[in-house]
Amino acid sequence: MLRQYELVDLVKSYDPYADEDALNRAYVFALKKHGSQLRTSGDPYYSHPIEVAGILTKYRLDCASIVAALLHDTVEDTDTTLDEIKELFGEQVAQLVDGLTKLAMIEHKTGSSKQAENFRKLLLAMSDDIRVLLIKLADRLHNMRTLNFCPPDKRARIARETLDIYAPLAERIGMEEVKSEMDEIAFAELYKEAHDSIVARLNFLREQGSDIVPKIIKQLEDDMEKNGVHCTITGREKSPYSIWRKMQLKNASFEQLADIMAFRICVDNVADCYQALGIIHSKYHMVPRRFKDYISTPKPNGYQSLHTGVIGPYDVRIEVQIRTYEMHEVNEKGVAAHWAYKQGQRTEGRNFRWIRELLEILDQAQNPDEFLENTKLEMYNDQVFCFTPKGDLIGLPVGSTPVDFAYAIHSNVGDTCVGARINGEIKPVRTILHNGDQVEILTAKNQHPSLEWERFVVTGKAKAAIRRYVRINKREQFIALGKDILEKLFKAEDQELSEKLLVAVLSDFEAETVDDIYAKVGEGLVTGWDVLRTVHPAYRQSKLEKMVNAIKLPTQKKKAKKDTLKIRGLIEGMAVHFAGCCHPLPGDRIVGIVTTGKGVTVHTVECQSLHNYEKEPERWLDIDWGPEAENEKHVARLKLMLSNEPGALADVANVVAKAEANIMNLNITYRTSSYFEILLDIEVQNVDQLNNLILALRAEKQVSYVARANR
């Protein structure tokens, strides 16, 4: 643990004008407030904020950030108030501590949306001040370093959250060292067997060629010196996690990777970068498709370097990275390498394009879970770089289409996209874009986003915008449908329906407007009969009672008793069966349709077949799953798009088996030379099990699309 004078000396070493008094007071304040509190490891709790502050000094952060790091847990874990922080350390420090405290309070909540809500709060905080993210990353890094002291279930949760959210965020702002260390610790925790296997292979390679790295460095240095290039060359192994991820992405074995060993050449200027590249390519055979120029087209996080793969000295496949010393500093430390706070400037998170795009996704998402799903897409994919007709560079994930490109320009352009002119040729919206493509988006005023677009777009921003439009459009349809249902039902029953009557019962349906009631009826969340009985309490549902009596079948009485345990809201004696068009599962919102002579058919509220009963609201029943529903197996239907290659179906079957589900039927509906579509009938217990299976299938490389089928 850093001592007080050591921390102050570190800050003063790069910022001679730092407020030494504030640093000393914050150090002592943290010690006193955390007092006898202990961490899981048994260390004094105050060691944690001090270590977090120490991590930030490596990135030469300003004095206010260091003070906020020392105090970041005081408001949450002690009797300290935000007003006290503001009075003692100033407005700027108080705002940083406030942002971090709100995050910590969210992190301690439980529930399925906790992680998503946590990330949403982090985005809002860092959009005001990017230093909140930097302090949070340092906080998470130190927690990862002490992860082994946590219980196993907590270790797995923290490691997964780090791998999914915090490591990609560190990469986005260019903090490569932080990202790599968090990745490695999380990888070792979550995938221990894979981690140990790769480490064992790396150890074997070291033993076989213990002197190969210095030999290669010496040869490269000689090559540069003979051509008059002044440089510094270092060699390194790729980390186990980056090796494993590349094996997954490329579906390659350990031996097939060309860049297990990477060598970095740092030179004085950009001209020397390209001269060094020419020297390397003129002497060694280049590995095809391994050259990338991130100097002329930097990554979104500002990363600049030349990358090439060659059969290098001693016939060893290596990766060579060539950059200037300044680029290297930025590449390793990212945002912190060109920090502006010590000059009194303020860098808002909104100045970063990727944060602005995440904020747009936040505005369009229906709930925190959807937001988290789309932002993961936005952060994870490798990049392709395309140009607008004016020459502006747009970075997109690999596999992006003109629709993704259109939404990257502006949401309105995406909404009205009808096609694209790619390199001068008109192409459809599902065309895959490649590096260097010049893309001109073609639009039409009457065009609207299509739900089909979601099948081929890859950016989170595009997916969020499409879902938002479909959601709004669906609401309008539900309002129109619900209004029509109520008008026809009230008319058929000779009862008055007016907006004034509906306004009087808004609270009964947890609605704010009359349109909310119409929408709930149209969506099937509320039945027309519920509204009729609420508006006219004296009314009796005589017609429905007659219909119910007509479908009571004596021979099915024994079976019906069992069914009513599974479905609540039915009158005893009603026969029940589940619709084959939508395959409802426990956990789905459901509605019952009464059919004379057959009983009640259970549908999901999203089922397209319900449109057939729009003009017969008297058939609709408000039902729900009973406590015994999950004791039996239910059949769900999935639609998948698979790569047309050997073993694809076997991999799908293996994933289904691991999810403890069972394939009941399989039907190939469409086939091409590169892919095919199939319908799978899967036996599961509830919708949660099905959703987990869908997530597992989406993680498979051969599966390009998977969703629940409505028919």
Q: How does pLDDT run across 432-476, given as a tens digit for each residue?
A: 888 778 899 988 887 788 777 888 888 877 888 887 777 777 778
pTM: 0.51
Q: What pLDDT is attached to residue 626?
A: 79
Q: Mean per-residue pLDDT for 666-684? A: 83
3-state secondary structure of 73: coil
pLDDT of 664 above 90: no
Least Cα distance to 570 among 550, 541, 599 occurs for: 599
Residue 555: Cβ within 10 Å count: 8
C-alpha 311/C-alpha 278 separation (Å) is: 15
Identify the CATH number of the domain defined by range 211-334.
3.30.460.10
Burial of 383 (0-12, 13-18, 19+ CB in 10 A): middle
Q: Which of 36-40, 141-145, 576-580 has the highest mean pLDDT?
A: 141-145
DSSP 253-322: -GGG-S-SEEEEEEESSHHHHHHHHHHHHHHSEEPTT--EETTTS--TT----EEEEEE-GGG-EEEEEE
C-alpha 643/C-alpha 695 separation (Å) is: 17
DSSP H helices in 15-161: 20-34, 47-58, 63-71, 74-77, 82-89, 91-107, 114-128, 131-145, 152-161
- Specify the length of the chain in residues: 711
Least Cα distance to 549 among 590, 596, 506 occurs for: 596
Residue 486: Cβ within 10 Å count: 21
pLDDT of 544 above 80: no
Classify 23 in phi/psi space as left (phi over 0), alpha (psi -120 to 50) or beta.
alpha
Amino acid, single-letter form, for residue 25: R
Q: What percent of the chain has pLDDT over 70?
A: 81
Q: Which of 80-84, 277-281, 558-562 has the lowest mean pLDDT?
A: 558-562
Q: Mean per-residue pLDDT for 189-204? A: 86
Contact predicate 701/251, CB 8 Å = yes
Burial of 306 (0-12, 13-18, 19+ CB in 10 A): buried
Provide the pLDDT confidence category of residue 516 given band limits of 50, 70 and 90.
Answer: confident
Q: What pLDDT is attached to residue 221?
A: 93
Q: What pLDDT is attached to residue 124?
A: 59
Identify the residue with better confidence: 213 or 573.
213
Mean pLDDT of the chain: 79
DSSP 11-35: HHHH-TTS-HHHHHHHHHHHHHHHT
Q: What pLDDT is attached to residue 147?
A: 92
Q: Mean per-residue pLDDT for 535-539? A: 77
pLDDT tens track for 361-374: 444 445 545 444 44
Identify the residue with better confidence: 47 or 423.
47
Least Cα distance to 429 among 412, 414, 445 occurs for: 414
CA dist list (Å): 123 to 91, 97, 102, 458 = 21, 15, 12, 21
Residues in contact with 192: Cβ distance below 8 Å, sequence separation at least 6, in sequence order? none
Q: Mean per-residue pLDDT for 343-369? A: 47
Provide the pLDDT confidence category of residue 66 given band limits of 50, 70 and 90.
Answer: very high
Q: What pLDDT is attached to residue 131?
A: 79
Least Cα distance to 95 among 131, 59, 119 occurs for: 131
Provide the pLDDT confidence category of residue 342 given band limits of 50, 70 and 90.
Answer: very low
Q: Which of 51-60, 555-564, 692-701 has the lowest mean pLDDT?
A: 555-564
CA dist list (Å): 461 to 166, 356, 421, 465, 612 = 19, 10, 22, 6, 35
pLDDT of 635 above 80: yes
Q: Mean per-residue pLDDT for 342-349? A: 42
Provide the pLDDT confidence category of residue 112 given band limits of 50, 70 and 90.
Answer: very low
Q: What pLDDT is attached to residue 47?
A: 93
Q: What pLDDT is attached to residue 104?
A: 55
Q: What pLDDT is attached to residue 121?
A: 55
Amino acid, single-letter form, for residue 114: K
Q: What pLDDT is attached to residue 68?
A: 93
What's the CA angle centered on 291, arms 380 and 240, to 5 degrees? 50
pLDDT tens track for 588-632: 888 888 875 567 888 888 888 888 887 777 678 878 887 777 777
Amino acid, single-letter form, for residue 379: M
pLDDT of 422 above 80: yes
pLDDT of 264 above 90: yes
The single residue of 6, 21, 73, 77 carrying the catalytic annotation is 77
HEC-encoded secondary structure of 557-606: HHHHHHHHHHEECCCCCECEEECCCCCCCECECEEEEEECCCEEEEEECC
C-alpha 447/C-alpha 183 separation (Å) is: 43
pLDDT of 560 above 50: no
Residue 533, token pair as written in the block: 């009985």
Identify the residue with better confidence: 408 or 339.
408
Residue 522, token pair as written in the block: 């149209």
Residue 672, token pair as written in the block: 């091409």
The single residue of 76, 164, 622, 628 carrying the catalytic annotation is 76
Convert 27-59 to b/e letters by CB count within 10 Å (16 or more is b).
Answer: bebbbebbeeeebeeeebbbbbbbbbbbbbbeb
What's the CA angle centered on 437, arms 434 and 440, to 5 degrees? 125
CA 437 to chain centre: 27
Question: Does the annotation mark 76 as catalytic?
Answer: yes
pLDDT tens track for 130-167: 778 788 889 999 999 999 888 888 888 889 888 877 88
Q: What pLDDT is attached to residue 426?
A: 84
pLDDT of 192 above 70: yes
Burial of 293 (0-12, 13-18, 19+ CB in 10 A): middle
Q: What pLDDT is attached to residue 228?
A: 93
Contact predicate 441/691, CB 8 Å = no
Residue 494, token pair as written in the block: 């000779």
Burial of 355 (0-12, 13-18, 19+ CB in 10 A): buried
As its CATH architecture, domain 4-193 has Orthogonal Bundle (1.10)
Q: What pLDDT is attached to residue 557?
A: 41
Looking at the domain covering 633-708, what would its CATH class be? alpha beta
Question: Where do the structural domains in the chain lie, given as residue ranges?
Answer: 4-193, 211-334, 541-632, 633-708
Contact predicate 556/607, CB 8 Å = no
Residues in contact with 241: Cβ distance below 8 Å, sequence separation at least 6, in sequence order? 180, 183, 184, 186, 187, 195
Contact predicate 275/229, CB 8 Å = yes
Q: Mean per-residue pLDDT for 216-244? A: 89
Provide the pLDDT confidence category of residue 564 given band limits of 50, 70 and 90.
Answer: very low
Q: What pLDDT is attached to residue 229?
A: 93
